[in-house]
């Protein structure tokens, strides 16, 4: 068995190519994460509004205004 010295079956991969691919993957995941955070914040705002309304109704109920 001989050793191949012609590097015919080898491919050169530069670090900047790998970094570029990693940036695309990370940016894609980051976008998904940011979208999920935005949705959670929107839901949180809805919950806060509902809780504030409930508090107002409870105060009126305690005062006998309802």
Structural domain boundaries of the chain? 15-66
As given in the structure block, the two tokens for residue 61 are 């109920």
- Could you read off the pLDDT of 35-63 as tens digits, one per residue? 888 889 888 888 888 888 888 888 777 67
Grouping H, G, I as helix, E, B as strand and the rest as coil, residue 64 is coil
Q: Which residues contact 60 (CB under 8 A, 6 or more apart)?
A: 66
Transcribe 23-60 into DSSP letters.
Answer: HHHHHHHHHHHHHHHHHHHHHHHHHHHHHHHHHHHHHH
Q: What is this structure's pTM?
A: 0.41
Cα–Cα dist 12/17, whole Å: 10
């Amino acid at each position: 068995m001989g050793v191949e010295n012609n590097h015919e079956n080898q491919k050169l991969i530069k670090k900047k190519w790998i970094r570029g691919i990693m940036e695309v993957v990370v940016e894609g995941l980051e976008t998904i994460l940011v979208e999920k955070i935005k949705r959670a914040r929107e839901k949180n705002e809805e919950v806060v509004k509902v809780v504030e309304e409930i508090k107002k109704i409870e105060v009126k109920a305690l005062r006998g205004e309802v």
